[in-house]
Amino acid sequence: MNSGAMRIHSKGHFQGGIQVKNEKNRPSLKSLKTDNKPEKSKYKPLWGKVFYIDLPSVTISEKLQKDIKDLGGRVEEFLSKDISYLISNKKEAKFAQTLGRISPVPSPESAYTAETTSPHPSHDGSSFKSPDSVCLSRGKLLVEKAIKDHDFIPSNSILSNALSWGVKILHIDDIRYYIEQKKKELYLLKKSSTSVRDVLSP
């Protein structure tokens, strides 16, 4: 008789101590799932970014394409104005990338270079340009002139076309560095998430 009563209580058919304990645990599990949602977005740091790969090696291109997709990015087969970044192993890509660094935006290349002040008006409504923005504009003109004068980037090349369309240029060494850094961050993030699940599992 007593054993039967114990079995009923273990199944939770009555409002025993075990049933009440389960009810208390449920909200905490729900809140845990909700808290994990923002962290899931960190698994795809390249989400919304479109890439075009200009590399002679098919093997390297395929490996890079897989890494980009794993991080949430998209790779296109043709260069167009819709491309966010062009990846190249040409030495000219280093000079082309300098233009992007002078007026930076949140992007993969900012992972390994120091960010500079964005040339936007201040929040007080002033329309005057700050000294920093003037220096940035002047610096960009100097770099553009140097590139044209020394023919660092041949006209009508894939890099010059990309620049004219506003496509950011990434050298393969730089995007590789960015990907490796993100892989390490994601590994630690997943490892931490797994440890939390192990602690909560019965």
Q: How far apart are CA 63 and CA 72, in angstroms?
A: 15
Predicted confidence (pLDDT) at residue 190 exceeds the cutoff of 70: yes
Q: How far apart are CA 62 and CA 12, in angstroms?
A: 55
Answer whether 172's CB lies under 8 Å from 96's CB.
no
Predicted confidence (pLDDT) at residue 128 exceeds the cutoff of 60: no
Q: What is the mean pLDDT of the chain?
A: 69
Q: The dihedral of CA 141, 145, 148, 150: what is its sign? A: negative
Whole-prediction pTM? 0.55
Contacts 24+ apart (CB under 8 A), 194-199: 196/32
CA dihedral 146, 151, 156, 160 (to 10 degrees): -40
On whether the 45-113+130-190 domain is CATH 3.40.50.10190, my answer is: yes
pLDDT one-digit tens code per residue, 91-106: 888 877 665 554 333 4
CB neighbour list of residue 124: distance below 8 Å, 6 or more residues apart: none
